[in-house]
Chain A
């Protein structure tokens, strides 16, 4: 056991301004749990209500993206009929990373990363590039129009998660997609600023 290496791991996170971090398999209980701790920290810091809401909202949407779409998934175990078995511990979990923190200049960030299938890269890029540069008002209008038109094919939610995060972050967000050793998978990273 080497405490120094683990302390250095913590220092590495701290040097990036990271206050909350999770890397591993995620499910909705993790969302609830980290979400509660995040809100508690924001409340104890007496963070501005608008900024707190934006951070929490970006956290919820981003973690739900990982839970729904990360390409690294396990479970659920299925019975003979192909239905998920009735066991709370044999349900679906998906791998991703979440980090929340603040930069020395005071800008707060909510970052998520997960593997995606390379075949989905053009669709995700198109969706994100189409909302780049839009301001809060434009994003609010676009969100309503998209909610009315219905979700795009392959969506498990309303298909407006990124629009919603971009809106909360007042258009301040970035993303990056990196190839991996496996040509079928890329690493997708999204960051919203508050």
Chain B
């Protein structure tokens, strides 16, 4: 399985995935013309990774500052995959990182975390 490293653009987030270190980071803004197309390849790899049983901890980090409603659907599907991976015995932790004055991202993080119970979830406020 290969590493993924996609740089951010004005409308698409940066995607960093390392299957050996078992880490994933999504950061920036996400409102692509077609989110399903943008995320199709990287998430096919990530989902294949999550299907497997891993010995070490798996860490996913979300550092988004804005995403549109179609991207929210992609995130929801990814959260469901993370929960399934955890419920199959993987050690999955998810960090939702938001700027401390961004109540909107905090609310969205809280709402998305409703999908997680086997996976560990943390909200992390950072100073801008």
User: Is residue A60 contacting chain B, with contact meaning CB distance below 8 A?
Assistant: yes
**Residues A32 and B104 in contact in the complex (CB < 8 Å), given A53-B66, A140-B111, A144-B76:** no
B112 to chain A, nearest CB (A): 7
Among A57, A64, A141, A158: residue with most chain B CB under 10 A: A158
Kindly state the separation between the CA atoms of A57 and B70 in the bound complex, as whole angstroms: 12
User: Is residue B73 contacting chain A, with contact meaning CB distance below 8 A?
Assistant: yes
Chain A: interface residue total (CB-CB under 8 A): 26
User: Is residue B6 contacting chain A, with contact meaning CB distance below 8 A?
Assistant: no
Verify A60–B73 contact, CB threshold 8 A: no
User: Is residue A160 contacting chain B, with contact meaning CB distance below 8 A?
Assistant: yes
Q: Which of A58-113 contact B (CB under 8 A)?
A: 60-61, 64
Kindly state the separation between the CA atoms of A181 and B82 in the bound complex, as whole angstroms: 52
A residues near B31, Cβ cutoff 8 Å: 60
Q: Which of B4-34 contact A (CB under 8 A)?
A: 10-11, 31, 33
A residues near B111, Cβ cutoff 8 Å: 140-141, 143-144
Residue from the list A50, A136, A141, A160 in contact with B73, Cβ < 8 A: A160
Q: Which residue of A lies closest to B32 (CB)?
A: A28
Kindly state the separation between the CA atoms of A175 and B115 in the bound complex, as whole angstroms: 32
Kindly state the separation between the CA atoms of A28 and B11 in the bound complex, as whole angstroms: 11
Kindly state the separation between the CA atoms of A60 and B33 in the bound complex, as whole angstroms: 10
B residues near A141, Cβ cutoff 8 Å: 111
A residues near B68, Cβ cutoff 8 Å: 57, 60-61, 64, 164
